[in-house]
Structure 1
Amino acid sequence: MLFLTLGASFVVLVLAGLLLLNQATAGIVESKKQASIAEAIGIHSFMQQQLRLPETRNVAINEQLIQLAALAGAESGRYQVLIQGPSSVYQSSEILAESVPAELRAAVESGTGMFVTPTEVVFVDDDQAPVPGWAVGTVLVDSGGERYPIFYIFQMTSEVATIRALQGAVVSTGLALLGALAAIAYMVTVTVVRPVRKASQTALRLASGNLDERMLVRGTDDIASLAESMNEMADDLQQRIRELETLSAVQRRFVSDVSHELRTPLTTIKMATDVIHESRGAFPPQTARAAELMFSEIERFDVMLQDLLEISRFDAGAAVLSLEDVDLAALVRSEVQAHTALAEQQGTELRFTARGDATAMMDSRRIRRILRNLLVNAIEHGEGRPVHVTVAGDEDSVAVTVRDHGVGFPAAQAAQVFERFWRADPSRTRVVGGSGLGLAISLEDARLHDGWLSAWGRPGKGAQFRLTLPKDTDTALTSSPLPIIPTDVTARRTDT
């Protein structure tokens, strides 16, 4: 920030100095030009009068011009003169004829009036460097009407000295201003920028989870007020987060305790329900139907309770893997066959494809649970259309995709489908029972394997879930053998 401010200040000072110098130089040069013209007009009128005096009519023109040149020489400190006579050039003794530009000579010889042009005054003395000046040209007319070009040369020696002094003053003033701006920028950086930067760093550390971070409060200015506000915000945030953590811990403990407490009575109820269900043939029709409904709901309640217990184990960090070398293709094929009956009830065809070596280290029980959730989800939401199950492997990983062509879901909900108890359409009746925790548990099982569980979906175009696992525990996933976007969708985009 400091260097940026100094750089911008330096540029502004340079531009302002150049503008000031240009304006001052232009004013000095223009003032000298106007003064030269005015003085040339005065001396020229005097010379013209001298040339036409009656007593000079009998004097040779060359002598008259020599006298006029000598008269000008008396004023050599203010200007120099050069007269083009009939046979030679008469000029002041200090300058050379090269001081008159060729274009000015041509203008005077071919025109009338007075002409002025900038020039470089060249001196007879070689040790004296040329200086800029103004050349004013016109003609002298004698009593006989003869024209003699005359040029007045005005040096700008004092003006050049003034301009150089002005340049030095501008440079020294600019350096002084730059130094003052540097001091001001440093003070602003110390008093404003650094505290704001510290506030930003403190906010970043708070956002990263370091809730004990605080700002040092000094003084009573706006920066101190900012520090106090930041500290108050951090205190409030820390308190709210602690309250939420406590509430979350209480909720998890409640779910875990309730799940464990319900397990014993549910086991007893389930045993009694099994006995009643097995004897339902001896009951009246209504009682037998009630026994079947009670049996199915107790089974569903048991599944929900098992899911809650599994979620509580994940929350407590007690979930562990039992790894073994498993052929994922064979595992998936057996799960597809196990769900064929359910798929036929829904009018859905299960299609299985496998390619490549799909052997990897995994917990087969947990992977079966993931596949079971994905297949049931696809059958339930596939609206009777075919469900494609694909397995593939490469050098580092294995993957399986489950693709349905049912209702699908918006792309923005691709992450929400793994949230606990989340449902895309709560008003829609579920055909296959579930706890609403299946995909959440599946995601935790995938993470436990250091794997990925991803979802793709579009309304009316179905959905695809992809499970990717590393082949061994030492391999970090960087890619998947199967794409998350279905191949039929990408092929349709290519065709269009």
Structure 2
Amino acid sequence: MFDRLPPILRHGPAFWRRSVQARVVISTLVLSAAVVGIVGAFLIQQTREGLLENRVDAVVQEAEGETEAARTALAAASGLEVDESAQQQALVEPIQARGATRGFAVVLSPPIREGSRLADGGAKFTEGLDLSSVPEVLEARFESVSPTAWTYTDIRTTQDIPGLPEGPGVVVGSQVRLPADDNTYTLYYLYPLNEQQQTLALVSRAMLVAGVPLLLLVALLTWLVTRQVVTPIRMARRVAERLAAGHLQERLRVRGEDDLARLATSFNQMASNLQKQIRQLEELSRLQRRFVSDVSHELRTPITTVRMASDVIHDARPFLDPVTGRAAELLQKELDRFETLLADLLEISRFDAGAAVLEAEDVDLVDVVRRVVDMTSALAAQRDTRVVVHVPTAPCVAEADVRRVERIVRNLVTNAIDHAESRDVEIFIGGDRQSAAVAVRDHGIGLGPGESAMVFNRFWRADPARARTSGGTGLGLSIALEDTHLHGGWLQAWGRPGEGAQFRLTLPRHLGTQLRHSPLPLVPDDARETV
């Protein structure tokens, strides 16, 4: 579904998250548009109110003038014998004539009485005017004698009236008394607001025409300003990425003397100091690795000589006194441990030097686990620990170095037996299309908070006072982690004090494939239930 979206919609959120310049420009543009819109609406509203107020004042004044002129004319003709209809006609016709030239219409209502409406008939008005243009609310106001009043209306016509277009308008009501029948009549004057409407539309267009270029100018200025700030930051990001990739000679170009230039200078100084420190550390690390490698190699010759002498003494134990015989056994045992330590140091030095290579082949993890269990059965019996293997129904095959995988599993099983405290050790094997895994679970002392990451450090021990009954060197898990990384796999640990620990080895089915998940859980099922 997302593939059908236009590119701008698919990549828009990522572009928004990654581009500071885009966020600043768009945010500034949106805020500027909001400000321009609010100010424009306020100005248009003020202009509208001003135009209407001036127009209303003018038409009310004009309507009152017309009414006053009508009253004067009626007072002058009060002594003449004129019937009611003729007097109404004489009243309306002059006003209609002036309205035709000045652009307004007039309506003379029948004599006021309660409940009467213009729609009931009897009104005299400008020809072509629709009487519904006079609002009923204004008619109701003049059901009795009232002063001049006005309201807004919507002027409607039945035919074209020169100078009086349809649309919004103002209607003003005023009352006169006819001498012929001594009744009060209401004169309604209807004035259009088309000029004010055109003026307001012109002002709105002018503000729109001025606002759009203003927003574009604000966006351009913001883009230019942010570009001047963001460009050095992007250069610093690129240089930082190259520094992180190992190109320690990369530096920023310094231009000018402003804050950004001083920042670039400080960045270059920091990079130079880091380069110096890294080179010193690399040299120290190289010397350390060389020292370990040289010492390990140099110790093999005297150790071989001592081993030969120890074997002679150990074989002669039946002819020695008990104290000397016990010393010969201790010497043999410690020489075995010392040779193991030398072998581990040599292996670590090969990892540090990058000389470790894989001899890959298809390896069945079930066979590897069974061989390791057989090899460690004597240690398990000595510790009164039972090793239980949960074999899957299908073979778990992975492309790996069988010698290194067997060493990893042996280290994990030996470590579990050493810390199981005579409880069962469980081994789980699982696999899927992408990966294969082995999990070793013990129910011993467990690991404290934070120790699951430290357990792979060289020579690290959870309890320094604890005896190494299995003869470990403190490098087994470190070597296992390096072997795992060489395969592109994961070696992870979980533990909880008093509930034991679980180590999980996950390998890709094919070398070079990136792991995304493991077929076995890191946290055991029984531990989840207790949670």
Give the shorter-chain TM-score range.
0.7 to 0.9
Contact 1:406 / 1:463 at 8 angstroms: preserved in 2?
A: yes
Query: Quick one: structure 1 residues 286 and 487, their matched pair in 2 at CA, closer, same or farther if it must change by over 3 Å?
Result: same
Give the alignment partner of residue 102 of structure 2, picking from 46, 56, 77.
77
Query: Contact (CA 8 Å) 1:104, 1:137: kept in 2 or not?
Result: no
Contact kept, 8 Å, 1:410 with 1:459, in 2: the verdict is yes
CA, structure 1 residues 197+116, in 2 after alignment: closer, same or farther (shift >3 Å)?
farther
Cα deviation, residue 145, structure 1: 4.2
User: 1:325 Cα shift?
Assistant: 5.5
**8 Å Cα contact 1:104-1:115 kept in structure 2:** no
Residue 194 of structure 1, aligned match among 231, 237, 243: 231
1:197-232 deviation per Cα after TM superposition (whole angstroms, max 9, x unaligned): 333343334334343333332222222223223322
- Is the 1:83–1:89 contact (alpha carbons within 8 Å) kept by the matching residues of 2? yes
Deviation, structure 1 residue 135: 0.2
1:119 is aligned to 2:153: yes
Task: Select which of 456, 462, 472 maps to 1:434.
Answer: 472
Q: Distance in 1 between matches of 2:419 and 2:293?
A: 31
Report what 1:466 is aligned to: 504
Pick from 401, 414, 424 the counterpart of residue 376 of structure 1: 414
Q: Alignment partner of 1:241: what SS?
A: helix
Shift of 1:313: 1.0
* 2:10 corresponds to: none
The question of whether the paired residues in 2 share the 8 Å contact of 1:403 and 1:462 is answered with yes
Matches within 5 A, 1:468-483: 468-470=506-508, 480-483=518-521
SS state of the match for residue 217, structure 1? coil
Larger mean CA deviation between 28-37 and 165-174 belongs to 28-37
Aligned length: 492
Q: Which moved more, 1:311-320 or 1:135-144?
A: 135-144
Cα–Cα, structure 1 residues 469 and 204, in superposed 2: closer, same or farther, change >3 Å?
closer
Separation in structure 1 between the aligned mates of residue 274 and residue 252 of structure 2, nearest angstrom: 15
Deviates more, 1:348-357 or 1:30-39: 30-39
Written as runs of structure 1 = structure 2, the 5 A alignment for 1:232-243 is 232-243=269-280
Map 1:285-324 to 2 at 5 A.
285-323=322-360
Alignment equivalent of 1:272, drawn from 304, 309, 313: 309
Question: How does 1:169-208 map onto structure 2 within 5 Å?
Answer: 169-208=206-245
Equivalent residue for 1:262, pick from 274, 290, 299: 299
The 1:340/1:28 distance shift into structure 2, 3 A limit, reads same
The 1:427–1:145 alpha-carbon spacing in structure 2 relative to 1, beyond 3 Å, is farther
1:423 to 451, 455, 461: 461
Residue 414 of structure 1: SS of its match in structure 2? helix
Q: How far apart are the structure 2 equivalents of 1:178 and 1:168?
A: 15
SS in 2 for 1:401: strand
Q: Report deviation, 1:323.
A: 4.6
Indicate how the Cα distance of structure 1 residues 429 and 44 shifts in structure 2: closer, same or farther if over 3 A, else same.
farther
Q: How do residues 101-112 of structure 1 correspond to structure 2 at under 5 angstroms?
A: 101-104=134-137, 106-108=139-141, 110-112=143-145
Give yes or no for the alignment of 1:405 onto 2:431.
Answer: no
1:454 is the counterpart of 2:492:
yes
One-letter amino acid matched to 1:240: Q
* Contact 2:87/2:178, CA 8 A, preserved across alignment: no
Q: Is the 2:133–2:156 Cα contact (8 Å) retained in structure 1? A: no
Is the partner of 1:134 in helix, strand or coil? strand
> TM-score under structure 2 normalisation?
0.81
Give the aligned residue type for 2:329.
E
Instruction: Out of 254-263 and 178-187, give the one that drifted further.
Output: 178-187
8 Å contact from structure 1 (residues 56, 64) kept in 2 = no
The reply on whether 1:16 has 2:39 as its aligned counterpart is yes
Query: In 1, distance between residues paired with 2:65 and 2:265?
Result: 79
Secondary structure class of the residue paired with 1:415: helix
Q: CA deviation at 1:315?
A: 1.5
* Aligned mates of 1:400, 1:175 — CA distance in 2: 66
* Aligned partner letter, 1:372: R
Distance of 2:430 and 2:135 partners within structure 1: 92
User: Where does 1:27-46 land on structure 2 (aligned, <5 Å)?
Assistant: 27-46=50-69
Q: Secondary structure at the match of 2:459?
A: coil
Q: Which amino acid aligns with 1:22?
A: Q
* Kept after mapping to 1: 8 A contact 2:400/2:511: no
381-390 vs 296-305, which moves further: 296-305
Following superposition, the deviation at residue 451 of structure 1 comes to 3.9
Distance 1:84 1:324 in 2: 110
Q: Does residue 376 of structure 2 align to residue 353 of structure 1?
A: no
Distance of aligned partners of 1:110 and 1:425 in 2 relative to their CA distance in 1, 3 Å threshold: farther
Residue type matched to 1:135 in 2? V
Q: In the alignment, what sits opposite 2:374?
A: 337
Offset at residue 477 of structure 1 (A): 5.4
- In structure 1, which of residues 201, 220, 223 is the aligned counterpart of residue 257 of structure 2? 220
CA contact (8 A) 1:107 1:115 kept: no
CA distance in 2, matches of 1:190, 1:297: 69
Residue in 1 aligned with 2:168? 132
Measure, in 2, the Cα distance between the counterparts of 1:171 and 1:67: 50
Give the Cα separation in 1 of the matches to 2:342 and 2:193.
105
Structure 1 residues 207 and 313, CA gap change in structure 2 (3 angstroms): closer
Answer yes or no: is the 8 Å Cα contact 2:103–2:162 preserved in 1. Answer: no
Q: Report the secondary structure of 2:468's partner residue.
A: coil
Change (3 A) 1:193 1:60: farther
1-side partners of 2:467 and 2:209: how far apart? 86
Q: Is the 8 Å Cα contact of residues 173 and 189 (structure 2) preserved in structure 1?
A: yes
Root-mean-square deviation (Å):
3.3
- Unaligned 5+ segments in structure 2 are 1-21, 112-120
Q: Which runs of 4+ in 1 moved over 6 A?
A: none
Cα distance in 2, alignment partners of residues 334 and 136 from structure 1: 109
**Residue 174 to residue 290, structure 1, CA distance change in 2 (3 Å):** same
Displacement of 1:125 after TM fit?
3.7
SS of alignment partner, residue 140 of structure 1:
strand
Letter in 2 for 1:26: E
Of 452, 457, 461, the residue aligned with 1:414 is 452
Task: Measure the CA separation in 2 of the matches of 1:67 and 1:215.
Answer: 95
**TM superposition shift of 1:249:** 1.6
Structure 1 CA distance for aligned equivalents of residues 290 and 312 of structure 2: 34
> Deviation digits for residues 277-331 of structure 1, max 9, x if unmatched?
3334544544444443333323222211111011001122222334555554344
Q: Give 1:151 shift.
A: 0.5
